[in-house]
Structure 1
Amino acid sequence: NGNAPVIIPDALNAIAEDVLNHSTKRRAKVRTLLSWFGYSRRRTHVVTEISEALESVGLKTQPDFQDEFFDNQVYFVPLTSADGCDSEQHVESEEQAGKPPEEIEEYEPPEEIAAPVTLSIIENPTYRVSHFASARKAVVTVLPDDSISQVTTVMLMKDFDQMPVMRTTREVKGVVSWKSIAQAKASGKPSELATHCMTQPQIIEQGDSMFEAVDRVLKYGCVLVRNQKREISGIITAHDVAKSFHELAKPYLLVGEIERLLRNLIANHFTQKDIRSVKKDDDREINDVTDLTFGQYRRLLENPANWERLSINVERSYFIARLEEIRIARNEVMHFDPEGLVPEQKRQLWEFANFLHNICR
């Protein structure tokens, strides 16, 4: 930020007052924290700005807001608190005593219009294991001496494919799965207890690359996630991986459908000469409609004379405004941001795709 003054949102000032002067425990979603600063994505400059603001009021977050899953809560603690940590333990004891910390009111984040910034996977904290929702959810476990009958009953009831075998939150003995049970029984060796049927656990840190987690899930079926306190904080399975990438793929497919419908609409009403006329000096070569960008779709259709050629009874200015919203959402989608689109952008994609289907029939 250079010499620019650090701007502190009113909500953060109020939290600092509560935490530092009244020993009140405060927390908020990562999404909410970003919204106080007018952002909805954790770009590098955004992380820097928020970190400086937190430091200026004597606070930090636990877990670190740049590592945490987007819709999970982070606690605001004094900057001098040790990582790991007494303040976290105090929060846990409060919750166990039936006194959950006060929760900040949630806000819908404003839409961010700024062009996306491309970062390498290593530099981008949003590509970490902690951004799987299941990396910070309580893990259902079994004890080594639990019977296989008991283990399979729990797995059937909860629709699990595997369960960790653990004595404490830090002591992992192995993982029991349907495959490992079948292998143990087929071997002719004892298979009555969980300890007879378990395989070597795969453990990954919350700060590790999510792509490493995906590779290991594909190979071993699941990975256990360990937090900074060396505790098992979650489990990532093939279902979690599929769900995560499905959420990424849906907007991508919608954008593709919107672009296909736009191209059909344009190709049916304009000649190649018309299409090539939108090219500016610094644009790449345009040979046909498939070479057009969203900006060039807009350039072609915002011309009143061109719009009349479509022969559709739709307000031109409203259509162009919606097309610009889709262009912005499309830029986010094509960067495969793990934080995904905000709900409003997802709605815009669905609405525009349905709209084009109706007018192109």
Structure 2
Amino acid sequence: MTGGASAFLKEAVKRCRAPEPLEIGVRELLWHWGYAIRSDAVVQEITSDLASHGLTTVPVLADAGRTVEIVPAPEAAAPEPPAAVSEVDDEAPVRVSLRVRELPSATRGVTSVDIDGTLAHAETTMLSDDFSQLAVLQDGLLRGAITWDSIRLAKARGKSDLRSALDPLPEVLKCDDDLLKQASRIWAGGFAFVEDEDRKLVGIVTLADLAEQFVGLANPFVLLSEIEQRLRRLVRKICTVEEMRRKARYPNKTSGADDLMFGDYKKIFEDTTLFQRCGWADIDHQVFVDKLDRVRVIRNDVMHFSPEGVRDEHTRALSAFIKFIKGLDGAP
């Protein structure tokens, strides 16, 4: 445990005695332990350290979005001893859920107009702020939405008041909804409002928000896919199937390079004899293996699909490795 974690835990124990729970951002919590990524091992370590001080998180750290509350652990819950850290399983099952609240716009607030206001006021607000829709409230509760389409339809009917232009059934999501499962609803409506558990309107998610999030998430997956394809090309050139099996974690299931796991590539290229078959006279063996291992670590982080898991530095490192290995491979 780091000194920062120890100091945080002591302070957390004091603050949790107060009536109000201690709320903290997940990124800040990880920082106290010296981490930037919420991997399974990191979650296990932090959860165990909290439990040893009679604390826990709500929700559980593995499923939390951007913030958690640090609260006293239930009396009946005895702290579990830290589990031994085993070798990272490159192909272990990973959590691939993404909550609606993990989109920044989902909890950033939403511009609204009152149902008794004028249509001119709503149109002017939309034009000046470059919005395609507004929430319409009555006594603080969501009554519907105003969109450019709903305005055009109202005017086509000869109506010019806000109530006539109201879309009474916009899509509404909860912060804890699974984003992947709700993506079709956002796509169909073009947007969806977001409410918290108390039905308070807290944000809006649009197609642009959805596209930006998934482009950011998908890019590392695309880069990793190309890296694996190029590694397989190289392995086929330098290894027989029998040699692949001797390096593979599951030799009985390995009938070629397509059956190898990512960790198996590292074992193959760590072998000096096999590495020399690549014919890279001026490439330092250890530097290549270290770079490959860095890709393996990034792959583990990316596959956890957490908000902290995909960072710009990951994308840059993967892009650099692709350029490097593409030049060595010599194939387009």
Q: Smaller-chain TM-score range? A: 0.7 to 0.9
Partner of 2:294: 325
Q: 2:227 aligns with which of 258, 264, 268?
A: 258
CA displacement 1:16-64 (0-9 Å, x = unmatched): 335647x999653212213435663264x87677567657757666787
Kept in 2, the 8 Å contact 1:151–1:194? The answer is no
CA gap of 1:115–1:150, structure 2 versus 1, over 3 A, is farther
Q: Say whether residues 1:279 and 2:245 are aligned partners.
A: yes
Look up the equivalent residue of 2:104 and give its one-letter code.
A
Cα distance between partner residues in 2 of 1:215 and 1:136: 20
Q: Say whether residues 1:29 and 2:25 are aligned partners.
A: yes
Q: Say whether residues 1:311 and 2:286 are aligned partners.
A: no
Partner of 1:183: 153
Q: Say whether residues 1:172 and 2:168 are aligned partners.
A: no
| Greater relative CO (CA pairs within 8 A, separation 6+) | 2
CA displacement 1:60-107 (0-9 Å, x = unmatched): 66787666433xx55657789xxxxxxxxxxxxxxxxxxxxxxxxxxx
Which stretch of the first structure deviates more once superposed, 220-229 or 338-347?
A: 338-347
Q: What TM-score, normalized by structure 1, do the two folds share?
A: 0.70
User: SS state of the match for residue 9, structure 1?
Assistant: helix
Kept in 1, the 8 Å contact 2:43–2:62? The answer is yes
CA displacement 1:250-305 (0-9 Å, x = unmatched): 110010121233234444x43xx635412138425545444433233223222212
Cα distance between partner residues in 2 of 1:15 and 1:311: 57
Look up the equivalent residue of 1:118 and give its one-letter code.
P
CA gap of 1:164–1:284, structure 2 versus 1, over 3 A, is farther
Write the mapping of 1:60-79 to structure 2, written as runs, cut at 5 A.
Answer: 68-70=64-66, 73-74=67-68
Unpaired segments ≥5 residues, structure 1: 1-7, 81-111
Write the mapping of 1:1-361 to structure 2, written as runs, cut at 5 A.
Answer: 9-18=6-15, 20=17, 27-37=23-33, 40-41=37-38, 43=40, 68-70=64-66, 73-74=67-68, 114-115=88-89, 118=93, 126-168=97-139, 170-186=140-156, 188-193=157-162, 196-267=165-236, 269-270=237-238, 274-280=240-246, 282-312=250-280, 313-334=282-303, 336-337=305-306, 339-342=308-311, 344-361=313-330
Look up the equivalent residue of 1:310 and give its one-letter code.
C
Cα distance between partner residues in 2 of 1:58 and 1:146: 52
Kept in 2, the 8 Å contact 1:129–1:210? The answer is yes
Partner of 1:83: none
CA gap of 1:56–1:165, structure 2 versus 1, over 3 A, is farther
Kept in 2, the 8 Å contact 1:191–1:197? The answer is no
Cα distance between partner residues in 1 of 2:277 and 2:44: 49
Look up the equivalent residue of 1:293 and give its one-letter code.
M
Kept in 2, the 8 Å contact 1:144–1:195? The answer is no
Q: How many correspondences in the alignment?
A: 310
Alpha-carbon deviation of 1:249? 0.6
Cα distance between partner residues in 2 of 1:174 and 1:148: 14
Look up the equivalent residue of 2:264 and give its one-letter code.
Q
Cα distance between partner residues in 1 of 2:258 and 2:309: 26
Look up the equivalent residue of 1:174 and give its one-letter code.
G
Identity %: 29
Partner of 1:95: none
